[in-house]
Amino acid sequence: MSADIFTRELTDRRMPVAALGVVLALFAFFVTGISSGLENVMTDLTDAMPKAVTAFIPAGPGGYAIGELFNLIAPLALIAYAAITAAAATAGEEKVGTMALLSAQPVARRSILAQKALGVGAALAAVTVVFGAATVLSAILFGVDELTPRHIAAACLHLFLLALLFGAITLAAGAVAGDPGVAAGVGGGLAVAAWVSNSMLPIAHLDAWARISPWYYYVSSEPLSHGVDLPHVIVLAVLTLAALTIAAVAFDRRDLKG
């Protein structure tokens, strides 16, 4: 039965995954194509800006445009998808009344949650792979030599784990509250708070406190420049497992609504 749940999750997510993958792939080609032309313009602009403003303007291999793609556009798109999908996975089914049918089947609640979580993870992995492949191809096509396949793959691994973490947090919120709106709000709200705190705390000379933000473990080691940072990857993975554990315990113990 659990395999049927996972298969249904994959089937239900085919079109959204394809659509998001295509959109991010197009962004990758567009942004990579304009990156070299924007570099001099953005350098002149940012030189005249205060530090409080430039903290929100990412930079890195390929310049400002590539920084925006990896530090803002792609993570926010993936996290938004993760939050919406994870909220619908359990709390959404409770709201529409299909969870009672599902939980009445001869399968443990934790197995149901595990298959739902695997579905979210598989969808995020598929979108990330498409985005990464498109970025590699566009870097080759437009001659952006700073963007190597190895470093793009490293950045995509960090990106996937960041989105997966907020998907797991959303699952946990949904398992506790049983309301998809609350679940998506918690996951999305914490993601925004993580991004803002990681950008602002160093400006306030509170660099050490930036480590409380999951975003820190996504961008601070600059995987697009230096490759995978194993300790940071482990932190994101452990936080994800902790959120999934909370989700499993709450989902197993709570009276489901529908």
Residues 258 and 100: beta-carbon distance below 8 Å: yes
| Amino acid at the residue 223 | P
User: Hey, is 59 helix, strand or coil?
Assistant: coil
* DSSP tally for the chain: helices H, then strands E: 13, 0
Measured in degrees and rounded to the nearest 5, phi and psi for residue 23 equal: -60, -45
Burial of 185 (0-12, 13-18, 19+ CB in 10 A): middle
Taken in order 150, 14, 31, 45, is the CA torsion positive or negative?
negative
Q: How many CB atoms lie under 10 A from the CB of residue 98?
A: 12
d(CA 232, CA 154): 12
Share of the chain above pLDDT 70, in %: 86
Residue 255 gets which letter from DSSP?
Answer: P
d(CA 139, CA 117): 33
d(CA 94, CA 104): 13
Q: How many CB atoms lie under 10 A from the CB of residue 149?
A: 14
Give the model's pLDDT for residue 64: 66
Give the model's pLDDT for residue 1: 45
Taken in order 226, 22, 128, 73, is the CA torsion positive or negative?
positive
Question: What does the longest C-alpha to C-alpha distance in the chain come to?
Answer: 65
Give the tens place of pLDDT for each residue, 97-119. 777 677 777 788 888 899 999 99
Orientation of helix 2-12 relative to helix 109-141, angle to 10°: 40
- Mean pLDDT, range 8-25, rounded to an integer: 93
Share of the chain above pLDDT 90, in %: 57
Residues 95 and 179: beta-carbon distance below 8 Å: yes
Give the tens place of pLDDT for each residue, 74-96. 999 999 999 999 999 888 888 88
Taken in order 234, 198, 240, 158, is the CA torsion positive or negative?
negative
Give the tens place of pLDDT for each residue, 167-225. 999 999 999 988 999 999 999 999 999 999 988 887 777 878 889 999 999 998 999 99
Is the pLDDT assigned to residue 36 strictly greater than 80? no
